Structure 1
Amino acid sequence: MTRSITTDRRRATALAAGCALLTVLATTQAAGARTQGADAAAGVRQWATDARTTGAQLGAPAAVTPASGPADTTVHVDPALRFQKLTGFGASITDSSAAVLYRMDKRERDALMKQLFSPGQGNGFSMLRQPLGASDFATALYSFDDVPAGQTDFGLKHFSVAHDRAQILPLLRQAKALNPRLQIIASPWSPPGWMKTNGSMIDGKLIDDPKIYDVYARYLVKSVQAYAAAGVPVDYLTVQNEPQALLRADYPGTDLPVAQQAKVIERLGPALRAASLRTKILGFDHNWAEHPFDVKAHVDAGEDPELTYPFDLLNSRAAKWISGTAYHCYYGDPSAQTALKASFPGKDIFETECSGGGITRTIGAMNNWSRSMIFWNLALDEKHGPHTGGCTGCDGTVTVDSTDRSVRYNTNYYTLAHFSRFTRPGAVRIGASVAAPEGDTAPLQASAFTNPDGSTALVVYNPGTAARTTAVTAPGVQVTTEVAAGATVTYTWGRR
């Protein structure tokens, strides 16, 4: 995340998303979804959220009821059109999230963790992105190898994940126990300060020296090994969160140009293999497009903004070690993912961080080849913290009140639920097209998936201010349903 402007950008994004869709679980009647004809015979059910109720009403999908009138919109699902496999949906158990969760009574925390991660009794979150060391949401500024100012540790003799053993790793083990298919992406916000030009985890660059590239690669391997030894295997690894963001004033970050990221990865790939680790490397880990603030910061510093960073990285010698590209949702358009996929069809796409993006950005990411949608903090308190700096208005997936420990389920929770409750890792995105009436300035948005068991999940969002009477069609399915203004509905059919 990029210093103070990120706070404003994310607050604006979150506000816009909240105004457009404060998704909270509602009954079928509250969401205003009705169906017509012999739809019950097709076995179609629905789960809807809208902006009119609050709380965690965690009911099962409901049967649909007849609509009144002909459809003005058609959503057609085509299972013959197959795209990417899903890895999962989830958030991040940041240091701040762990601290908030550990304020709770153990029984209450266990119940919340089940609600978040259990595939059968909760949201079934199946992917987490974990900071390696401090991020802007941490209770202290730390890496896994801190030494006094002016000293170095090329032997990594001071390496330790002790900070994470108290709260973060136990929560990750618990999440993994609740959902054994849970996968972990690990990302550093900064190398240890002694590896950087300014001697600090805040701002600065990685020192341009082969010895530094080598020790940083070994540091990342030791991080993966330490997590695995603690019962938390790391499935994917990036080498730097938001490498194009300069001028961080109060939290960890590193400006890492393409050439430097490539040099790290050229050493990291062989080192992971030599250590017999199956962890895959993801490149980039930043926005769909470079934010104008970051472009200006690079230009002012006399540097190339590197507007085609992910393309350039996959065209480098490091590409042989890169499994895919990680994106964030804070600037640009998700179609950037499809452009990259078209150029490098053998490389995967992941969405690794989004806060306040809501249902529109999630559908956009899915419809542009992303295998994941990972929102930011899993849990925060009512003051959007604790944090070391950066975003002061970010919401957690849930809010845990610091006084009475009550839990509020936020927009991100319900947005993710529309996908994570009804898809499983290994599900495949299939064709979903919307035929809207002429002149519709806010057409429905849709994304569809086929699960490994043969069941289908279709997520439909109505961003408009008027209800849409909508025909949902697929082989063997013909359903006419009204989707209320601002409502999101997940339709399911087939085996489950």
Structure 2
Amino acid sequence: MTKRMASLARRTLVAGAVVATLGMTACASAAAEPSARVWMTSGDRSRLLSEQAPLRFAASPGAEGAAVVVDPRRPFQEMVGFGAAITDASAWLIQTRLDPDRRDALLHELFGREEGGLGFSFTRVTIGASDFSLDHYSLADTPDPTLATFSTARMEEYVFPTVRAAIAINPDLKVMASPWSAPGWMKTTGSMIQGQLKKEFYPVYAQYFRRYIDSAAAHGVPTDYLSIQNEPDFEPDSYPGMRWGPEGRAEFVGGHLGPLLRSAGVETRILDWDHNWDQPQQPLTVLADGRAREFVAGVAWHCYAGDVAAQSHVRDAWPDKDVFFTECSGGEWTPAFADSFTWTMKTLIIGSTGHWARGVLMWNLALDENYGPHAGGCGDCRGVVTIDSRTGEVRRNQEYYAFGHASRFVRPGARRVASAVTGGLQAVAFVNPDGERALIVLNEGTERVAFEIREGDQGAAAELPPQTAATYVWKALD
């Protein structure tokens, strides 16, 4: 028996004894009085995904005052899940700076649900290098339109093993892939840095994507979702990037990549844009192209400019297209725990899902104590966790707790449902496939707020301290 199995067995025996003892004294009252379990995180760190005393539901008079009213009869989008990107940097740290026991424990904590794991069920990988790689590379660096030297060998070193390990822990995990640049020889600059894809290489680049999907699958890594370019309206000067306007993207997807994947029987779903909220006209232009629209499953968004409401603006125009939120990074530009925690809860966990996101991703899953490794780009970005490259110690950052309030309790296949909020709070509600409710509420103010949670004619009195988020979980009320 491994140390992990022995520890789990001991915990199970102790937990079973406690549950049995409590159950004998509480089962009768619990059956008569439904309750909600509660987990909280506060900006002052006095609570960090800490379970609180349960709330009791009873007949509600529907009195005036602060309230969050959940209506499961009004369902919206089906959730894929929450998570973070397994970048080259994250995978390298996990595979080389953690011993096997620590690596296994961290991956179970992030992707598993047992023992309080976060249950991440959505991740993103980079096709070739990003700024968070050890160096700059593509999957076909040698100029050759036949792609004779195409290889995913670099990704097979650290990224693919990490993704496979995560899938083994959570078989529900969905994977998105995005390139930061085409191989330099296909571009106007002759380099992976800056420039645009030459149209003469559109057919070759479509084959590049197909080969990536096939090779990744052969190594146990699915490509459930694909964007053809990370941040296509940005040409960074120190790491791979590529400007690609909406007309060109529409031509590539509608005339090359989409038909190629369809003819090959590839079921990967293509997402457009993969960039900020400030330019909804870009994905709208792509979706206005009839050929491209046939192959575009949805639109992906980033957080670095604009307002999250742009997601709804585009979805209102094309309600049959999915919405995903696929990148945001915490960093030392907002070092205070309370500030970045409440912003992440408000904007990403509540805001992006309230504006139709089926999946929500942070950027790097893990970075080291120096905010790396990276090759150009951001020098003070923060990972969901920090792995000390010298000791292997793991620090859980504010994004860990913010995302945990959703990922641990909102299961793949859950539906967002209607929630009406008063009293200065913000909230989003879900119903899991088994009927269990998960309500996430944020008080970003400076004063404690008392309110009532209501479903139908039942209500439960609740309180949230200032700068605090809570997740409330309960079974369907009769």
Which of the five TM-score ranges fits, normalised by the shorter chain?
Answer: 0.7 to 0.9
1:352-367 aligned within 5 A:
352-356=326-330, 358-362=344-348, 363-367=350-354
Offset of 1:354 from its aligned partner? 1.3
1:36-115 aligned within 5 A:
41-53=33-45, 62-64=53-55, 72-102=65-95, 103-115=97-109
Structure 2 letter corresponding to 1:119: R
Question: 1:336 is matched with which residue?
Answer: 310
Q: Distance in 1 between matches of 2:431 and 2:375?
A: 41
Offset of 1:100 from its aligned partner? 1.3
Offset of 1:323 from its aligned partner? 0.4
Offset of 1:78 from its aligned partner? 0.9
1:169 corresponds to which of 153, 160, 166: 160
Contact 1:216–1:264 at 8 Å: present in 2 too?
A: no
Question: 2:127 is matched with which residue?
Answer: 132
Give the 3 Å change call, closer, same or farther, for CA 187–61 of structure 1 in structure 2.
Answer: farther
The runs of 5 or more residues in structure 2 that have no matched partner are 1-29, 58-62, 331-342
1:154 corresponds to which of 145, 158, 161: 145
Show CA shifts across 1:57-104 (max 9, x none).
6765642389xxx98411111111111110110001100001111211
Contact 2:163–2:221 at 8 Å: present in 1 too?
A: yes
Question: 1:297 is matched with which residue?
Answer: none
Q: Distance in 1 between matches of 2:68 and 2:352?
A: 19
Show CA shifts across 1:85-138 (max 9, x none).
101100011000011112111110110000000033310000001110001100
Show CA shifts across 1:451-471 (max 9, x none).
000000000011101110011
Question: 1:311 is matched with which residue?
Answer: 284
Contact 1:382–1:402 at 8 Å: present in 2 too?
A: yes
TM-score (norm 2): 0.86
Question: 1:471 is matched with which residue?
Answer: 452
Residue 258 (structure 2) pairs with residue 277 (structure 1): no
Percent identity, please: 43
Offset of 1:391 from its aligned partner? 1.2
Offset of 1:274 from its aligned partner? 2.0
Structure 1 letter corresponding to 2:43: A
Contact 1:40–1:63 at 8 Å: present in 2 too?
A: no
The structure, 1 or 2, with the larger RCO (C-alpha pairs under 8 Å, 6+ apart) is 1
Question: 2:234 is matched with which residue?
Answer: 245
Structure 2 letter corresponding to 1:308: Q
What is the number of residues matched between the two proteins? 427
Residue 325 (structure 2) pairs with residue 351 (structure 1): yes
SS of alignment partner, residue 109 of structure 2: helix
Q: Distance in 1 between matches of 2:34 and 2:305?
A: 41
2:118 corresponds to which of 118, 123, 129: 123
Q: Distance in 2 between matches of 1:105 and 1:61?
A: 34
Offset of 1:51 from its aligned partner? 2.3
Q: Distance in 2 between matches of 1:390 and 1:142?
A: 15
Structure 1 letter corresponding to 2:275: H
Q: Distance in 2 between matches of 1:340 and 1:62?
A: 41
2:433 corresponds to which of 452, 456, 479: 452
Contact 1:39–1:479 at 8 Å: present in 2 too?
A: no
Give the 3 Å change call, closer, same or farther, for CA 482–54 of structure 1 in structure 2.
Answer: closer
Contact 2:37–2:51 at 8 Å: present in 1 too?
A: no
Question: 2:170 is matched with which residue?
Answer: 179
Q: Distance in 2 between matches of 1:85 and 1:118?
A: 21
Offset of 1:42 from its aligned partner? 2.3
Residue 250 (structure 2) pairs with residue 259 (structure 1): no
Root mean square deviation of aligned Cα: 2.1
Give the 3 Å change call, closer, same or farther, for CA 478–272 of structure 1 in structure 2.
Answer: same
Show CA shifts across 1:18-71 (max 9, x none).
xxxxxxxxxxxxxxxxxxxx999222111111123379x6765642389xxx98
Q: Distance in 2 between matches of 1:273 and 1:379?
A: 35
Offset of 1:158 from its aligned partner? 0.5
Give the 3 Å change call, closer, same or farther, for CA 488–58 of structure 1 in structure 2.
Answer: closer
The runs of 5 or more residues in structure 1 that have no matched partner are 1-37, 291-306, 437-442
Q: Distance in 2 between matches of 1:62 and 1:92?
A: 34
Contact 2:34–2:56 at 8 Å: present in 1 too?
A: no
Q: Distance in 2 between matches of 1:381 and 1:124?
A: 22
Show CA shifts across 1:283-328 (max 9, x none).
11111114xxxxxxxxxxxxxxxx6101101001211000000111
Residue 393 (structure 2) pairs with residue 406 (structure 1): yes
Q: Distance in 1 between matches of 2:312 and 2:283?
A: 12
SS of alignment partner, residue 389 of structure 2: coil
TM-score (norm 1): 0.83
Structure 2 letter corresponding to 1:455: E
SS of alignment partner, residue 44 of structure 1: strand
Offset of 1:384 from its aligned partner? 0.7
1:429 corresponds to which of 405, 409, 416: 416
Q: Distance in 1 between matches of 2:157 and 2:67?
A: 52
